[in-house]
Amino acid sequence: VAEGIRLLKAATYAAAIDPETGMIDMEQLIVGMGAARRKRGKDLESLVQEVLAEKGEGGAMLTADAVKAEVNERLGSRKEQLASDNEFFSALRAVEEQGLIRRQGKQIELR
């Protein structure tokens, strides 16, 4: 029983640690996503909006690959970790839900 309790504590501790801060992140356990990861998602969403705003006016067509390349270029210049496909498309989906773009496959139409 003591070994089971020790293993449970170790697993909980490992699951709740934020890899960036090394501190226990209770949001990771409660919400399923740590605060640092959620903040990065919001930052990526803002960066995607910024790139889209600079790339063209309403009705302009862009490709998701071109937008992702520009986002990663800016992240690289800031010495930040590049966006994975999952992170990028999650941010792109959030921008689409706000009604700023319409996406069809890898084509993006600005509104």
Q: Which residue has the higher pLDDT, 7 or 83?
A: 7
With 70 as the cut, is the pLDDT of residue 43 above it?
A: yes
**Domain spans, the chain:** 1-32, 35-110
* Angle of CA points 79, 83, 33, to nearest 5°: 110
Q: How far apart are CA 56 and CA 109, in angstroms?
A: 10
> In angstroms, rounded to a whole number, what is the distance separating the alpha carbons of residues 61 and 108?
6
Task: Look at the domain 35-110 and name its fold.
Answer: Arc Repressor Mutant, subunit A (1.10.10)
In terms of C-beta density within 10 A (0-12 exposed, 13-18 middle, 19 or more buried), how is residue 109 classed?
middle
Give the residue, 36 or 65, on which the prediction is more confident. 65
Euclidean distance between CA atoms 17 and 103, whole angstroms: 36
Flag whether pLDDT at 44 surpasses 90: yes
Write down the pLDDT at residue 98. Answer: 92
CB-based burial label for 11 (10 Å; 0-12, 13-18, 19+): exposed
Question: In this model, does residue 60 exceed pLDDT 80?
Answer: no
| pLDDT > 80? residue 59 | no
**Alpha-carbon distance 95 to 93, whole Å?**
5
Q: How confident is the model at residue 15 (pLDDT cuts 50, 70, 90)?
A: confident
In whole angstroms, give the CA distance from residue 82 to residue 91: 13
